[in-house]
Amino acid sequence: MKYIEFGQDQDQVSQVVLGTMNIAQYDTEGATAFLKTALEQEINFWDTADCYAAGGSEEVLGKVFAANPGMREKVFLQSKCGIRVEDGMKYFDFSAEHILEAVDASLTRLQTDHLDCLLLHRPDALMEPDEIADAFRILHKTGKVRNFGVSNMNPPMIRRLQKATKYKLETNQVQMSCAFTPMFDAGFHVNMESDPAIMRDGGVLDYCSENDMVLQAWSPLRYGYFEGIFLGDPKYAALNKVLERIACEQGVTPTAVALAWILRYPARMQVIVGTTKAERLVGSAQATSVELTRKQWYEIYQEAGNDLP
């Protein structure tokens, strides 16, 4: 496993992140066995959110921490808040009141006294940066949150928020895979009259690199917006062929190669793996051992159905 420095204390955290959105399907015993596999693979960064399984994912993690003294201290724990569902309707809420209440609720479910990082989950068009900054100040002063970041935000949004708070926004969690590449497409097709030339993200990759923000890639094995997994999908036969070839050459899984494609981008990168299968997690952890050449990176990009001008 390879590590990067993260946050104000420069914690050493794994580039492969365990995503726990679906962990609520386990009971405490099953979750414990799975989470121990993550630690055995030296994956020490775990990501969750208050909305995952309506809080159920955090509850399962909390029960595991309670049943396994010392495990919490081995983990860099990140959660997210801001997505609310009431009366069957979803909306976003970055009010100070909600952020403070959400963190307290997460800490209770997780059975811990602090989060190592808190992300604002999806942009709230009604956000007031000064109000968010006040919430951050309270959370940091009381020791409830050590670091802060955002999820799915573009550069103008991040700049507005960063201007208001003294705490560095450490990370931006965005959707990225070799079959979901709009952030790369726009860069390749600058000033061209084609759909790939449309910049839909405001230059997130360059902004995060310039401002030393960690880029966390979610849904690293999906195409479209939760449309499906490209591994083994006949629609992506050419992509799977090249992933399998490189995997065979390097003695790893095709999953590891697909994740390594993301980590190959020259920035502070992490990739979030959402599997709940121990064997797939082991295969995913191989990603940081994969060395992709520039030619292989571009081959994967093009075999996923993308073109270069």
Q: What is the pLDDT of residues 256-266, one digit of tens each?
A: 999 999 999 99
Averaged pLDDT, 16-44:
97
Q: Which residue has the higher pLDDT, 226 or 48?
A: 48
pLDDT of residue 226: 85
Active site annotation includes 301: no
Query: What confidence tens digit (pLDDT) does each residue in 180-212 have?
Result: 999 999 999 999 999 999 999 999 999 999 999
Q: How large a percentage of the chain has pLDDT more than 90?
A: 99
Q: Looking up tokens 């989950």, which residue turns up?
A: 121
CB 282 within 8 A of CB 37: yes
**CA atoms of 114 and 145, how far apart (whole Å):** 6
**Catalytic-labelled residue, pool 3, 26, 52, 225:** 52
Q: Which fold has domain 3-303?
A: TIM Barrel (3.20.20)
pLDDT in the model for residue 44: 98
Which pLDDT band holds residue 145 (cuts at 50, 70, 90)?
very high
The residue-averaged pLDDT of 290-306 equals 97
Residue 213, pLDDT above cutoff 90: yes
pLDDT tens string 109-138: 999 999 999 999 999 999 999 999 999 999
pLDDT tens per residue across span 48-102: 999 999 999 999 999 999 999 999 999 999 999 999 999 999 999 999 999 999 9
- Residue 270: pLDDT above 90? yes
